[in-house]
Structure 1
Amino acid sequence: MTANAADVTQTERLLQGSEVAVYAVAGYSGAEHRVERKDVSWHVAAKRAKVKAITNDVIREATQDLEILKARFQTRVEHPFHVLKRQFGFVKVQIRGLAKNAVQVLTFLALSDLWQARHRLLALTAEVSPAVTE
């Protein structure tokens, strides 16, 4: 994959083979026509201009509600990556070799899981051992 190629042209290479459904942002519109596999259910976000161009109010509102559901799903998927970038500084990939990069990413993902569960974990420790008062 080259740096100047659009992701939508490389969609076939991004799929691993066991996908049942694919959720994608509006930049991947038309990707379902590029991929050979027809057994995958595609959920590509609609471009905002296309949604606004719908003249029937009922259909436009239903389409907007569907787009909100897609955005919620995307938010849940992308939140761990936001934590990786902001809390642990994993903004740029460093080329160290595939094995070292894989170990680093898995370590950061484990730390991200702990970071997101910190409030529940701290609540559990407070139940087990009460805070020492001075």
Structure 2
Amino acid sequence: MTTRERCESAIRYRKNGANCAQSLLAAFADVMGITEAQAMAMGAGLGGGVRSGNICGAVNAPVMILGCACPEMAGSKAKAAEITKEFQRRFTERFRHLNCRELLAEKELQPTDTALELAAGDYCGLLIVSAAEILCGMIGEK
């Protein structure tokens, strides 16, 4: 699946009512070796920053996806930290924050052109599509 197709898939889940984490987990379910239903169930409680305004679903779901795409994370805390921090670095480069509460308050988002095209006015959609692009880039580098 191309990056564009992943992004389209993620935003389609969002438009059908999925939260940020569910949208990404479902769009990358094949990478994790799980079903769409399992992805939706796994991400159900992660929306809204684990329902507390903390780490955004567009951040915590990609870390789980990367764990499946990069099996070396399982055997090395250092590798897990390195890959997780790299995703966070790339995400905060665009959005400055990781927490849902802060992201929702941010007025100066820097989404990608693809995110602007596909998410068209959906604030969380911008984060989802941009996170999908970052994920595709990182998975492609592995």
Higher strand share: 1
TM over 0.5: no
Normalised by the length of structure 1, the TM-score is 0.27
Higher helix share: 2
The structure with the largest alpha-carbon Rg is: 1
